[in-house]
Structure 1
């Protein structure tokens, strides 16, 4: 694999082969750094707990001596094969301190459900989603030493207008390379029967349940119901206008018929 970037953050992508080889190298490096059987044993024990415990999750990461992102990435390789958790998704966000901007820098989605990533380049990611909430919390923390320590939380993310719910585990911390940047990663599990059978703490009452959407522009919640709104619901309003117009036309056709 000669054609691949030599830095952990790609400065530019010059070819598809370069991008593919970088993915292969990352996969191989993760397999070397996080020993498979040890992690499987740790996860089996962790999933068998009846209560969510973020400190125990951090202990797993520290035990394997890797970054939170690398740990979540390794989970995505093992969970489908060894735990039957195939409907998962991984996201990584970067945010600037001021003004607050949230950029999706990496993702893969095996869930079959559209997750709140913001389709258009000018759309605003749902601010209720856990990785965004943690980044907002980090931005408010002025202690640089505390910001370097990962924050961890769990959330049951319930999609508005969809009969879908996800269990989200997210970690966020300040960037070691750029003090003005914060990072967050999220592993999302579709709450289906295999997940309920495997993860005993899936319905822990201490885990907050949050209604989320794809982006602010696509969300019909009013400002009174969502204080986190970052942009008007332009796309949602346009869709509603089209539906109303179609309804009026259908009624007119029926009346004329």
Structure 2
């Protein structure tokens, strides 16, 4: 264990034993002959006493020496010990969020029992909802994206420097062969297309990188957009100098937070390289200025780049907040198996604030009025390569959103489809930037979040009763009746009658 954490654990135990004896720092100082300031530094994890000082503390507190120096904490403080032993503070770069590790340690040191209770609560919630370490890391990265409005200027500049150094024309679609050539000639890669078979345990993998030999194994049958993105990510890992990285696409597992964060950075670099800022800015400006929504024009903007619909929508979450000042938005990715009635929200991002449509890990039924689900139903029947739609979604208590959605076949799972959506909050800023917002051809749909929480009565698409909403209403009615009884029987008149 880190020396710093050993000092903290000793300090926590000392404070606990002192409080159990109902001793102040002054009192413990009188008992042991150690100064009050020195004892305070020990309890706050600043210093670790020498053996002779520990002996004085052991005698004064009537606690065996071995128990004092043991790293084992009792039940009250055990959650803090688990947290420290997990090295969670070390694995997550707290400086990304403007937090110093010492600040957290001070909080733990100054309120150990309350912090321990809080940590126990988090652990129980995580166990109850099967919230894993990986889930925590991914949630941390999402929070980091949201805190930075999902725009990273240093990565954008890195893309421009790379393009200049390798003479890449960012005004033209980037071909996969051009990026493959850079991997081979500049970074010593060897690329194979026959190792990942479509059958067997690796059928969902699109690439595997073998670092020892710099061999990149690619699944056969991918389209050019998929190959281009994978090559661009590999270039990012090398050009940006990331050693901690993931070796499969999509990822199977990760061991450290740096791997997760660097995977995000590499993906961001790849998206900014394939869909450069200047061309998409110009193209979207033209579409946004038209008085009516031009579906073909929007799809043509997507076709300007050698990118999948998901990469394009992801890039919108970088460009819209920074370039157009459209900051209230969400990104959703759903997965759906053909013929099933299940829709899984696999990925989400919320900028500016937590938007109304969000994931519920409680087996609730997402609103079937969402355009994100409608396009999944359509593509399962039409078998088209790409289904697109746009809708104004009106939430009863969460505002109105203009939602763009594309559905495609899932490139990683046979028989599955995915939809990608970006929703923009309709406010004064959006009205200034989008001339077509009043286009009557854009349908307006009243929506909820899940059926279990939906206010819409007599919904023909409802999959489950509004039991969560009903429970809230029942509790509210009960509270109101109790309040009435309090007023009725709390008056002096009723007391006199009694």
TM-score in same-fold range (> 0.5): yes
Correspondence 1:77-96 to 2 at 5 A: 77-96=318-337
Partner of 2:315: 74
Matched, 1:235 2:468: yes
Partner of 1:251: 484
Matched, 1:2 2:239: no
Matched, 1:40 2:281: yes
Which residue among 353, 360, 365 is the counterpart of 1:124?
365
- Structure 1 window deviating more from structure 2 (202-211 vs 108-117): it is 108-117
Partner of 2:421: 186
Matched, 1:101 2:342: yes
Partner of 2:392: 156
Cα pair 1:91 1:185 within 8 Å, conserved = yes
Work out the CA distance in 2 between the residues paired with 1:120 and 1:175.
22
Aligned residues: 249
Partner of 1:139: 380
- Structure 1 window deviating more from structure 2 (108-117 vs 240-249): it is 108-117
Cα pair 1:111 1:190 within 8 Å, conserved = no
**Structure 1: runs of 5+ lacking an equivalent:** none
Which residue among 46, 62, 65 is the counterpart of 2:306?
65
Q: Deviations over 1:80-107 (max 9, x none)?
A: 1111111111111111113231111111
Which residue among 115, 121, 140 is the counterpart of 2:356?
115
Cα pair 2:335 2:419 within 8 Å, conserved = yes
**Over the residues paired in the alignment, what is the CA RMSD in angstroms?**
1.5
How big is the shift at 1:16?
Answer: 2.1
Q: Deviations over 1:216-247 (max 9, x none)?
A: 1111323x2x1111222111111011011011
SS, match of residue 249 in structure 2 = coil
Flag the structure with higher helix content.
2
Distance change in 2, residues 1:90/1:118 (3 Å) = closer
SS, match of residue 394 in structure 2 = strand
**Structure 2: runs of 5+ lacking an equivalent:** 1-241, 491-498
Flag the structure with higher strand content.
1
Cα pair 1:116 1:126 within 8 Å, conserved = no
Matched, 1:168 2:403: yes
How big is the shift at 1:121?
Answer: 2.8
How big is the shift at 1:113?
Answer: 4.3
How big is the shift at 1:132?
Answer: 1.0
Work out the CA distance in 2 between the residues paired with 1:25 and 1:168.
27
Partner of 1:30: 271
How big is the shift at 1:63?
Answer: 1.0
SS, match of residue 78 in structure 1 = helix
Could you list the structure 1 runs, at least 4 aligned residues long, displaced by more than 4 angstroms after superposition.
none
Distance change in 2, residues 1:234/1:118 (3 Å) = farther
Partner of 1:14: 255
How big is the shift at 1:214?
Answer: 1.5
SS, match of residue 28 in structure 1 = helix
Cα pair 2:343 2:366 within 8 Å, conserved = yes
Partner of 1:201: 436
Structure whose CA Rg is larger: 2
